[in-house]
């Protein structure tokens, strides 16, 4: 009910009307109870704000954030200057976390399905009822292997509770990452883990990249300024790299798509899809043949010269790569001479059938210029500071998903638990997951909102939003030294007013209660998650190393003051605890890289393209689509919002008679298609079309449901050799006009053009000399 | 009695924007929307070309595939000393305050939109709709900032509520305002991951913006420029040119 100021004043005039007004505004009755100012929480003073440190869990690597809280409500998110990963910076995704807390479509109590599966008919039940229903079903299992849990990459203390729970119950664990790091981790392992030092309790620890101190940065496919691995950290580092006072660095980006990162490079090179590795090898060949490389590394990489690299001469491979031989030679010489130089690769470069060898060849370049373990190069990370707590796991490969689908088909799986992951949305239709799960007798979701997978569940046990929850994180990749991030609730749970039988709960606590009901002993140090975290912190405190805020651990008089300090600063860190083993010995160069192979349409025609999907800068892999700020954030390259578009070369579009806003059908030749609005632009290759990931949810609330289309669904199920991860850039598609047109909601041209005088510029350039 | 506030010279707030560092990520845009209670720009608003972004990032293309470049530039109210928007307001809803800010008084505004017409930077926005949020999203609204109703003009304020709060608190505690204080910085400056945006007091010679102005504007080799300088608006926002090793000094955008 809306009131104008005048109406409000009129109503307030009669005191009898006051109660009516508050009722009408929908303020829950327990919030207007008069509270004695003596009993008010000490941090709740009307008109005064408090900033609490916690963690952002929406980005692929946790960032430290501070949240402004006034009168019990979160008002603003900013970066935490004390957090070693992002050092005070943040991005659109972290900022929009507020809207995930106050999402109008959040689930406020456990739900049980009453209609047909997916019909959206639910009934609220109490937590006791929900947990006992689930426990009964688990107890009724024929064999415990009939249960499986799908989660997002969980690490740290939560990961430990999940692992213990699953081991005790005997259930399987599949980790879901839409654009997984499986191939990336595998390539980094081959490149840098020669002596097996980069493991932490069996998990590979990714290295960090010191972009800030590099002079020359060569990147392949990785959109590290926007969505890749740890975008806030890399963007901050990039800003310093560009500092003109500090010898502004040179940045070359080789990619088959014109990404945000490509747009910010000094030189963007188009590489034929899947040929990034060959380019890296050819660069290596020039460096080695011209004697520009680090002699020691060259010896190991070429096995004392026994690996013949002459067939990789730029003249011989340039047409296959799609980059002129002269340019390859120039880049190789610059890369070798402007040290410290750094090579990084990922994204679509690793998402081809030959992705593993591509990325391996790229990362090995760092040895040639002596950048491994050096300032301005690849910084290897130490293991986790806890003996029993691991960094987050990487995702399951496509083969594992296919096997899982087969097992469901054979009715070997009876109960599926899903937490923090949306596999129905994120897996290609070719895997058959969506059809398979209809055979599952019980699907339980822990999601706090109705995502595509939760909408197919039978039982929903909603967990807290991360801003209401406790947690820790051992970031992977870390900042080059040991650290632990601490996450604390910045506000009381939003659905607290629903009472203890309804509302949301902490996921780990739910697992612990469940294991108690089932009579399984998880062998944990405490029976609630907060105490487990405190015990974890106590271990750090007792070891006496490192700092919390600006105070050494040894200087704290007792544990409670240390605990307060880590919560206040959001982290504990030990800058002395670095990777201290000897630098790894480079492995041998892969002597040849297989050409990539493509799925989907196999004919060559004017309207057949390589499809390069990409994670949207705001919606990421689709997990941000329910947040209106992110929907309304213009894509940096196209400035498009709210819809799914397909990027196509401006000349090619002209030839095909495609204009902006034309609804085109993108087919993969296997009967799957998506529709998207055409956006022709000059930056993309005529051989490639590009579609953002993120839209096309069949569920998820008012802002995402039924909006745009999901490009992941039409991907072919080609796998990367060696890791059998989904080769998500290896699909060829056909573009057809549907004859329909729709205005693409974009930011561009919403303001009139600036009236610049002849000879004047909006963005003047300087050569900087 | 003379308070410390009155004794010292007033601040003159301004900004320096290093175009060379801007990656176009939109962090500033969303931070501004969050801080200043800007209504959600719905799909319809884009289609009618009426989205509200107090700070926006413009993207300019240069060349064509394969030799193609995209450049980004953040644009917000330039808080001009000779602001073309000010004299045309019939009700004095927009005026220049003593700290160099171009201020919009919402409850004076009658929505003639003359100011938006006269602004060469197109950074003034008219509320064509009554702003609305679902009930639960109203919890995130910043209590320090008015929600503007339909028919009102609005624009970047350099987060005046942050300046006022910090002034109040430092006055109470007897501290000087600190250059680069995150409580004083505008929301966009704090959000910017690459340090493209720098905010501060041009009247304080020790502030980062003053030092940057001295280095980049006063020196002939500096990169500083003012947008649409030829109009004589004397903006309080200084831009630093984009560096491109291959660029001839006169290449256009």
Contacts with A, B 116-135, CB within 8 Å? 120-122, 130, 134-135
Taking the CA of residue A558 and the nearest CA in chain B, the distance in Å comes to 30
Q: pLDDT tens digits, residue range A322-376? A: 999 999 999 999 999 998 999 999 999 999 999 999 999 999 999 999 888 888 8
Residue A687 has pLDDT above 50, yes or no: yes
Q: Is B68 in Cβ contact with A682 (below 8 Å)?
A: yes
Say what the pLDDT of residue A754 is.
86
Span between the terminal Cα atoms of chain A, in Å: 62
**Encoded tokens for A80:** 């935490």
Number of domains within chain B: 1
- Taking the C-alpha atoms of residue A106 and residue A578, their distance in angstroms, rounded to an integer, is 42
- Give the CATH number, domain containing residue B220: 3.30.70.20
Say what the pLDDT of residue A637 is.
94
Span between the terminal Cα atoms of chain B, in Å: 55
Give the list of residues 6+ apart from residue A535 with CB closer than 8 angstroms, or none.
A525, A526
Q: pLDDT tens digits, residue range A497-539? A: 898 899 999 999 999 999 988 888 888 888 899 999 999 999 9
Q: pLDDT tens digits, residue range A153-196? A: 888 899 999 999 998 888 889 999 877 688 898 888 888 876 66
Tell me, which fold does domain A599-741 have in CATH? Barwin-like endoglucanases (2.40.40)
Tell me which residues of chain B have a pLDDT lower than 70: 1-8, 248-253
- Taking the C-alpha atoms of residue A392 and residue A61, their distance in angstroms, rounded to an integer, is 9
Looking at the domain assignment, is residue B246 inside a domain?
no
- Residue the block writes with tokens 């064999």: A143
**Helix A529-543 to helix A507-517 angle, to the nearest 10 degrees?**
110
Show the domain range for B22.
4-240
**Encoded tokens for A168:** 């005790």
Q: pLDDT tens digits, residue range A423-437? A: 999 888 888 898 898
Q: Is B247 in Cβ contact with A754 (below 8 Å)?
A: no
Looking at the domain assignment, is residue B28 inside a domain?
yes
Q: pLDDT tens digits, residue range A373-382? A: 888 899 988 8
Contacts A80 to B, Cβ<8 Å: none
Residue A15 has pLDDT above 50, yes or no: no
**Encoded tokens for A618:** 């705001």
Q: If you count residue pairs, one on A and one on B, with CB atoms under 8 Å apart, how many are there?
A: 255
Residue A7 has pLDDT above 80, yes or no: no
- Taking the C-alpha atoms of residue A409 and residue A313, their distance in angstroms, rounded to an integer, is 50
Looking at the domain assignment, is residue B248 inside a domain?
no
**Helix A559-569 to helix A529-543 angle, to the nearest 10 degrees?**
110
Q: In terms of Cα–Cα distance, which of A598, A597, A596 is closest to A732?
A: A598
C-alpha distances out from residue B130 to B45, B49, B116, Å: 12, 16, 19
| DSSP E strand stretches across A176-239 | 199-200, 203-204, 208-209, 216-220
**Helix A314-321 to helix A276-289 angle, to the nearest 10 degrees?**
160
Looking at the complex, does the CB of residue B222 fall below 8 Å from at least one CB of chain A? no
Using pLDDT thresholds of 50, 70 and 90, give the confidence band for residue A142: confident
**Helix A355-368 to helix A182-192 angle, to the nearest 10 degrees?**
40
Ranges for all domains in chain A classified under CATH 2.20.25.90: 30-101
Taking the CA of residue B220 and the nearest CA in chain A, the distance in Å comes to 12
Q: Is B58 in Cβ contact with A76 (below 8 Å)?
A: no
Q: Is B245 in Cβ contact with A226 (below 8 Å)?
A: no
Q: In terms of Cα–Cα distance, which of A266, A298, A270, A295 is closest to A285?
A: A298
Per-residue pLDDT, averaged over A623-647, amounts to: 93
Please state the φ and ψ torsions of residue A205, each to the nearest 5 degrees: -100, 120
**Encoded tokens for A417:** 């638990």
Ranges for all domains in chain A classified under CATH 2.40.40.20: 599-741
Ranges for all domains in chain A classified under CATH 3.40.228.10: 208-379
Q: pLDDT tens digits, residue range A46-67? A: 788 899 999 999 988 889 999 9
Taking the CA of residue B107 and the nearest CA in chain A, the distance in Å comes to 12
- Element (H or E) spanning A541, and its range? helix A529-543
Using pLDDT thresholds of 50, 70 and 90, give the confidence band for residue A68: very high
Contacts B186 to A, Cβ<8 Å: none
Looking at the complex, does the CB of residue B194 fall below 8 Å from at least one CB of chain A? yes
Looking at the complex, does the CB of residue B30 fall below 8 Å from at least one CB of chain A? yes
Say what the pLDDT of residue A55 is.
94
Average pLDDT over chain A reads 87
Contacts A92 to B, Cβ<8 Å: 25-27, 29-30
- Taking the C-alpha atoms of residue B114 and residue B86, their distance in angstroms, rounded to an integer, is 9
Say what the pLDDT of residue A4 is.
59
Per-residue pLDDT, averaged over A26-45, amounts to: 63
Looking at the domain assignment, is residue B51 inside a domain?
yes
- Taking the C-alpha atoms of residue B197 and residue A347, their distance in angstroms, rounded to an integer, is 29
- Taking the C-alpha atoms of residue B84 and residue B96, their distance in angstroms, rounded to an integer, is 11
Taking the CA of residue B166 and the nearest CA in chain A, the distance in Å comes to 12
Determine the Cα angle at A108 with ends A107 and A114, to 5°.
Answer: 65
Which homologous superfamily is A208-379 in?
Dimethylsulfoxide Reductase, domain 2 (3.40.228.10)
Looking at the domain assignment, is residue B250 inside a domain?
no
- Write the CATH number of the domain with boundaries A30-101: 2.20.25.90
Q: pLDDT tens digits, residue range A238-277? A: 999 998 776 888 999 999 999 999 999 999 999 999 999 9
Q: Is A91 in Cβ contact with B35 (below 8 Å)?
A: no
Alpha helices in A322-472 (DSSP H): 325-337, 355-368, 398-409, 423-426, 433-436
Contacts B17 to A, Cβ<8 Å: none
Q: Is B31 in Cβ contact with A98 (below 8 Å)?
A: no
Say what the pLDDT of residue B248 is.
59
Taking the CA of residue A625 and the nearest CA in chain B, the distance in Å comes to 13
Looking at the domain assignment, is residue B29 inside a domain?
yes
Taking the CA of residue B236 and the nearest CA in chain A, the distance in Å comes to 16
């Amino acid at each position: 009910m809306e009131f104008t100021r005048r109406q409000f004043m009129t109503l307030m005039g009669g005191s009898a009307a006051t109660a009516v007004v508050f009722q009408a505004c929908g303020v829950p009755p327990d919030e207007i109870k008069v509270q004695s100012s003596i009993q008010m929480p000490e941090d709740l003073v009307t008109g005064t704000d408090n900033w609490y440190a916690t963690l952002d869990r929406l980005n692929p690597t946790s960032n430290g954030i501070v949240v402004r809280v006034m009168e019990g409500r979160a008002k603003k998110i900013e970066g935490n200057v004390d957090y070693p990963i992002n050092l005070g910076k943040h991005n659109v995704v972290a900022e929009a976390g507020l809207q995930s807390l106050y999402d109008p479509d959040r689930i406020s109590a456990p739900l049980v399905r009453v209609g047909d599966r997916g019909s959206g008919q639910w009934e609220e039940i109490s937590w006791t009822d929900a947990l006992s229903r689930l426990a009964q079903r688990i107890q009724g299992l024929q064999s415990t292997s009939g249960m499986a849990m799908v989660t997002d990459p969980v690490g740290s203390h939560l990961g430990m509770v999940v692992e213990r729970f699953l081991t005790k119950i005997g259930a399987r664990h599949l980790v879901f990452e839409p654009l997984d790091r499986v191939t990336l981790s595998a390539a980094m392992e081959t490149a840098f883990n020669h002596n097996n030092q980069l493991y932490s309790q069996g998990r590979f620890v990714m290295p960090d990249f010191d972009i800030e101190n590099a002079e020359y940065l060569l990147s392949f496919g990785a959109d590290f300024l926007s969505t890749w691995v740890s975008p806030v950290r890399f963007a901050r580092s990039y800003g310093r790299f560009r500092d003109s006072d500090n010898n502004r660095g040179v940045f070359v980006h080789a990619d088959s798509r014109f990404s945000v990162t490509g747009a910010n490079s000094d030189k963007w090179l188009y590489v034929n899809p899947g040929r990034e590795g060959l380019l890296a090898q050819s660069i290596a060949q020039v460096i080695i043949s011209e004697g520009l490389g680090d002699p020691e590394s060259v010896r190991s990489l070429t096995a004392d010269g026994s690996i013949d690299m002459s067939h990789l001469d730029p003249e011989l491979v340039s047409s296959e790569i799609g980059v002129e031989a002269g340019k390859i030679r120039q880049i190789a010489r610059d890369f070798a001479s402007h040290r410290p130089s750094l090579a990084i690769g990922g994204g679509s470069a690793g998402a081809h059938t030959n992705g593993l060898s591509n990325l391996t060849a790229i990362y090995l370049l760092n040895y040639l210029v002596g950048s491994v373990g050096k300032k301005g190069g690849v910084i290897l990370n130490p293991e986790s500071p806890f003996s029993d707590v691991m960094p987050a796991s990487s995702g399951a490969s496509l083969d594992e998903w296919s096997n899982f689908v087969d097992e469901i088909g054979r009715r070997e799986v009876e109960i599926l638990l899903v937490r923090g992951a949306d596999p129905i949305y994120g897996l290609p239709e070719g895997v058959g997951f969506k059809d398979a799960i209809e055979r599952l007798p019980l699907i339980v979701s822990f999601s706090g909102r109705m995502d595509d997978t939760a909408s197919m569940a039978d039982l929903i046990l909603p967990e807290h939003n991360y801003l209401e929850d406790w947690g820790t994180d051992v970031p992977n990749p870390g900042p080059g030294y040991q650290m632990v991030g601490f996450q604390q609730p910045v506000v009381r749970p939003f659905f607290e007013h629903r009472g203890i039988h309804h509302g949301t709960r902490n996921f780990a606590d739910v697992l612990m209660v469940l294991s108690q009901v089932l009579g399984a002993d998880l062998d944990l140090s405490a029976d609630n998650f907060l105490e487990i975290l405190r015990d974890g912190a106590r271990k750090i405190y007792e070891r006496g190393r490192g700092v919390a805020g600006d105070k050494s651990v040894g200087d704290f008089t007792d544990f409670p003051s240390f605990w307060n300090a880590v919560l206040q600063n959001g982290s504990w860190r030990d800058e002395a605890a670095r990777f201290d083993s000897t630098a790894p010995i480079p492995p041998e160069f892969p002597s040849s890289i297989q050409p990539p192979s493509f799925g989907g349409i196999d004919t060559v025609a004017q309207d057949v393209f390589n499809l390069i999907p990409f994670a949207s800068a705001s919606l990421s892999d689709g997990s941000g689509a329910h947040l209106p700020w992110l929907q309304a954030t213009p894509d940096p390259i196209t400035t498009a919002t709210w819809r799914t578009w397909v990027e196509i070369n401006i000349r090619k579009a002209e030839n095909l008679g495609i204009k902006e806003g034309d609804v085109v059908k993108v087919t993969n030749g296997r009967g799957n298609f998506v529709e998207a609005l055409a956006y022709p632009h000059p930056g993309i290759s005529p051989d490639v079309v590009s579609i953002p990931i993120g839209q096309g949810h069949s569920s998820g609330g008012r802002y995402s449901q039924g909006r745009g289309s999901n490009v992941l669904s039409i991907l072919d199920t080609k796998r990367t050799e060696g890791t059998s991860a989904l080769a998500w850039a290896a699909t060829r598609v056909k573009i057809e006009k549907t004859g329909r047109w729709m205005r693409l909601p974009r930011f561009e041209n919403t303001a009139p053009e600036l009236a610049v005088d002849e000879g004047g510029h909006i963005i003047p350039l300087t050569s900087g000399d | 009695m003379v308070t410390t506030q009155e004794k010292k010279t007033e601040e003159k707030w301004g900004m320096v924007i290093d175009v060379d560092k801007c990656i176009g990520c939109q962090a500033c845009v969303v931070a501004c929307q969050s801080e200043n209670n800007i209504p959600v720009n719905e799909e319809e608003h884009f289609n009618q070309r009426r989205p509200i972004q107090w700070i926006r990032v413009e993207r300019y293309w240069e060349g064509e595939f394969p030799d193609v470049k995209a450049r980004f530039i953040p644009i917000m109210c330039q808080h001009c000393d000779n602001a073309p928007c000010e004299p045309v307001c019939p009700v004095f809803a927009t005026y220049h305050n003593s700290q160099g800010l171009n201020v919009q008084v919402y409850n004076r505004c009658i929505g003639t939109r003359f100011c938006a017409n006269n602004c060469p930077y197109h950074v003034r926005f008219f509320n064509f709709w009554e702003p609305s949020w679902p009930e639960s999203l109203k919890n995130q609204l910043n209590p320090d900032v008015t929600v503007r109703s339909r028919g009102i003009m609005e624009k970047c304020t350099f987060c005046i509520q942050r300046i006022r709060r910090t002034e109040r608190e430092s006055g109470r505690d007897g501290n000087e305002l600190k250059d680069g204080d995150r409580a004083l910085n505008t929301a966009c400056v704090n959000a910017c991951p690459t340090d493209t945006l720098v905010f501060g007091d041009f009247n304080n010679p020790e502030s980062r913006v003053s030092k940057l102005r001295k280095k980049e504007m006063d020196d002939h080799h500096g990169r500083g420029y003012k947008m649409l300088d030829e109009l004589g608006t004397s903006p309080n926002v200084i831009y630093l040119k984009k560096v491109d090793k291959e660029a001839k000094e006169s290449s256009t955008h």
